[in-house]
Chains A and B, each alone.
Chain A
C-alpha cells in the first residue's frame, strides 16, 4: 500500500503536468471502488467545468483543489489503495483495462485512475467539507510539516501500551506513515519495534521523530518504494526498495553492524529489526 513518499511522488507528477484547462468531462467506470462510508458518495460530477488548481497531499491522500464555476472551492480526494495508478494522457488514448476514472480537460488531456484491485477511493465536494470529514478530518499531524517532533509523537502515543511499530501506523497519531517506513524509522532510531509505546522516554521520541522525517524524505528523494504495484505518474517504479535498510531483509546482515536481521510479525504485518542495534530493552524506560 502506498505510504506518504509514494503518494507524494504521484502528487509531484500530477503537479508537474501543470493541468490548468477546465474539466469538460468526468468519466467513471461502472465498478465500485473503495468501500466504507466515507467513500460511498463520490460526488464526482460536481467537478465538471471546474478549473484545476493546487494539488496537495494529506497523509496518504492526494487533495486536489478546483475552482468551481460559481466561485466555490471544490476538492477531489484520491486514495490510491493497494494498486491504484494515476497518469496523464491525451483523451485520444484508448483507456487501458481497469481504468475506473478519467477527468478530461479542455486541452484534450486526461487524468486517469487505473486500479486493478479497486481498493482505491475517490471523493469530491466542497473543499472545506472534505477537509473536515472522514477520512481527512481525523488525520494526525504531517510528519514533514514544521512543528513535528518528539513532543508531538509523545503527546499522541505516549500512553499507548501497543508495540511502538503498531502504534506508529495509527493515522490519527501521525499521517502518512505505514509499515515500511515505520519499520525503517525504528531501525534508524535504534528502537526495538515491539516495545510498548508508553515505555519510550522523551529522548527516544525525539530521536524517532527525527528518523521518521529522514526515512520519509529519503523515500521521496528515491521516488517512492516499489515492492510490487507502485508506479509514479510516468509509469515508472520507485528506487527506494533498494535503499531499505531492514524491511523485507530478515536473515540478511544489518547494514550497520553486520548482525543477522530478525523478521517479526505483529498485527498481521511483517517487519524486521536488528537484535544488536535495536535490542529488547531491559530497563522500563527506553532512552
Chain B
C-alpha cells in the first residue's frame, strides 16, 4: 500500500475534474467530495437568485441530481465549476420565468418572489462569505446591502454574485452566462457603481 504521507506531505487535493471522472468510473466518495466542495457556494448562489431557502435547497438537490444523471456524458472541456454554475443558473432562469408567469396572473405579488422568507435571505447575505467588516456591521446595514443587490438588474446581479460571493473568475462567469469576458467586466463595473450610489449614505 502506498502511504500518501510518506514524504511527510499531505496528498495533493484532486482537481474537481479528476473527481468527476472518478465518480463517472464508479467512485461514490468522489461525488461526496464534490458535493462537499460546492454545496455551500451553489446554495448561496441559488438562494440569492430565488430568495427562498427551501426552494434553494430543492434547486441545489436538482443541480446535483443533474450531475449524477449526466456523469457518464460529462466532457472534460469546461471547468467543472463553470459547468455546475451554468446548470444552477439555468435552473434559476426557469424559476424566474415561472415566477414572472405567476406575477402576471396576480399583479399584487411583490417583486421577485421575496414573499415568505425575506429575512432568511438577509441572514444569508450576512453569512461568512461576506467580508468581515460587513459581517460586523449592524443588521440594518446588512439589510440595506441585501436590498441594494436585489435591486440590481438581473444581468449585473448575477455577475456581481458569482464574482463576490462565489469568487469565480471573469472568464468563468463569461462561460456561464454566455457573454464575452469584457461584457461581464463592464456589468460588474455597472453593478459596483450602482451599489456605491445606493449605499452612498453609509460611507461603505
| Chain A interface residues toward B at CB < 8 A | 242-245, 252-260, 276
Smallest Cβ-Cβ distance to B77: which chain A residue: A256
Per the bound structure, the CA–CA distance linking A255 and B176 in Å amounts to 13
Q: How far is the CB of A187 from chain B (nearest CB, A)?
A: 10
Q: How far is the CB of B174 from chain A (nearest CB, A)?
A: 12
Does B21 sit at the interface, judged by CB under 8 A?
no
Smallest Cβ-Cβ distance to B73: which chain A residue: A255
> Which of B72, B75, B90 is in CB contact (< 8 Å) with A260?
B90
Q: Can you list the 3 inter-chain pairs with the closest CB atoms, starting with the nearest?
A: A258-B86, A255-B73, A258-B83
List residues of chain B with CB within 8 A of the CB of A245: 73, 75
Does B17 sit at the interface, judged by CB under 8 A?
no
Per the bound structure, the CA–CA distance linking A244 and B69 in Å amounts to 12
List residues of chain A with CB within 8 A of the CB of B94: 260
Q: How far is the CB of A77 from chain B (nearest CB, A)?
A: 35
Q: CB-defined interface of B67-88 with A at 8 Å, one 1/0 digit per residue?
A: 0011011110110001111110
Name 19 A/B residue pairs within 8 A (Cβ), A-sorted.
A242-B72, A245-B73, A252-B66, A252-B69, A252-B70, A253-B66, A253-B86, A253-B87, A255-B75, A256-B75, A256-B78, A257-B77, A257-B78, A257-B82, A257-B83, A257-B86, A258-B176, A259-B178, A260-B90
List residues of chain B with CB within 8 A of the CB of A252: 66, 69-70
Contact B175 A243 (CB under 8 A): no
Q: Is the interface of B mostly helix, strand, loop or mixed?
A: helix
Contact A253 B70 (CB under 8 A): yes
List residues of chain B with CB within 8 A of the CB of A256: 75, 77-78
Q: How far is the CB of B70 from chain A (nearest CB, A)?
A: 6
List residues of chain B with CB within 8 A of the CB of A258: 78, 82-87, 90, 176
Per the bound structure, the CA–CA distance linking A74 and B144 in Å amounts to 85
> Which of A243, A253, A254, A259 is in CB contact (< 8 Å) with B72?
A243
List residues of chain B with CB within 8 A of the CB of A244: 73
List residues of chain B with CB within 8 A of the CB of A254: 86
Q: How far is the CB of A181 from chain B (nearest CB, A)?
A: 15
Q: CB-defined interface of B109-145 with A at 8 Å, one 1/0 digit per residue?
A: 0000000000000000000000000000000000000
Per the bound structure, the CA–CA distance linking A257 and B70 in Å amounts to 12
Q: CB-defined interface of B40-82 with A at 8 Å, one 1/0 digit per residue?
A: 0000000000000000000000000010011011110110001
Per the bound structure, the CA–CA distance linking A254 and B87 in Å amounts to 9
Per the bound structure, the CA–CA distance linking A243 and B77 in Å amounts to 16
Which of A243, A256, A257, A260 has most chain B Cβ within 10 Å?
Answer: A257
List residues of chain A with CB within 8 A of the CB of B73: 243-245, 255
Per the bound structure, the CA–CA distance linking A276 and B178 in Å amounts to 7
List residues of chain A with CB within 8 A of the CB of B83: 253, 257-258
Q: How far is the CB of B91 from chain A (nearest CB, A)?
A: 9
Per the bound structure, the CA–CA distance linking A281 and B170 in Å amounts to 25
List residues of chain A with CB within 8 A of the CB of B87: 253, 258
Q: How far is the CB of B21 from chain A (nearest CB, A)?
A: 13
Q: How far is the CB of B38 from chain A (nearest CB, A)?
A: 13
> Which of B77, B84, B90 is in CB contact (< 8 Å) with A259?
B90
Per the bound structure, the CA–CA distance linking A165 and B70 in Å amounts to 24
List residues of chain A with CB within 8 A of the CB of B86: 253-254, 257-259
List residues of chain B with CB within 8 A of the CB of A260: 90, 94
Q: How far is the CB of B154 from chain A (nearest CB, A)?
A: 17
Which of A244, A258, A259 has most chain B Cβ within 10 Å?
Answer: A258
Per the bound structure, the CA–CA distance linking A259 and B82 in Å amounts to 10
Smallest Cβ-Cβ distance to B76: which chain A residue: A256
Per the bound structure, the CA–CA distance linking A255 and B24 in Å amounts to 13
